[in-house]
Amino acid sequence: QSALTQPASVSGSPGQSITISCTGTSSDVGDYNYVSWYQQHPGKAPKLMIYDVSNRPSGVSNRFSGSKSGNTASLTISGLQAEDEADYYCSSYTSGTTVAFGGGTKLTVL
């Protein structure tokens, strides 16, 4: 059982926007602005997409954005493209473990 809760799957059509939620507790997501999101294509290592809730690393498309409200963080992908189809994981700092991951969300581009 993962420390952070994500939906198992989401889907959207090309050009649409989707949002993936990541729900934690007041000991992790709710207490720190240390939330990151990773994209993982099959057979590949995860890739950092968002850090510190809403910051994008250099080279990541501005179609990816992050936010947080209370104990829930969110990743929004706008203008969906076929190459966005992947698994997405959220992660948060937690005082108990240092790093907690969500269970992952499979994004399908219809």
Partner 1 sequence: QLQLQESGPGLVKPSETLSLTCTVSGGSISSSSYYWGWIRQPPGKGLEWIGIIYYSGSTYYNPSLKSRVTISVDTSKNQFSLKLNSVTAADTAVYYCARQTGGGAYLIDYWGQGTLVTVSS
Residues making contact with partner 1 (CB under 8 A): 2, 32-34, 36, 38, 45-48, 51-52, 57, 89, 91-93, 95-104
Minimum CB separation from partner 1 for residue 5, in Å?
11
Minimum CB separation from partner 1 for residue 47, in Å?
8
Give the separation between CA 103 and CA 110, rounded to whole angstroms. Answer: 22
Q: Which is nearer to partner 1, 13 or 95 (CB)?
A: 95
Minimum CB separation from partner 1 for residue 107, in Å?
15
Question: Rounded to an integer, what is the distance from CA 88 to the centroid of its chain?
Answer: 5
Q: Residues near 87 by Cβ (< 8 Å), separated by ≥ 6?
A: 39, 40, 41, 104, 105, 106, 107
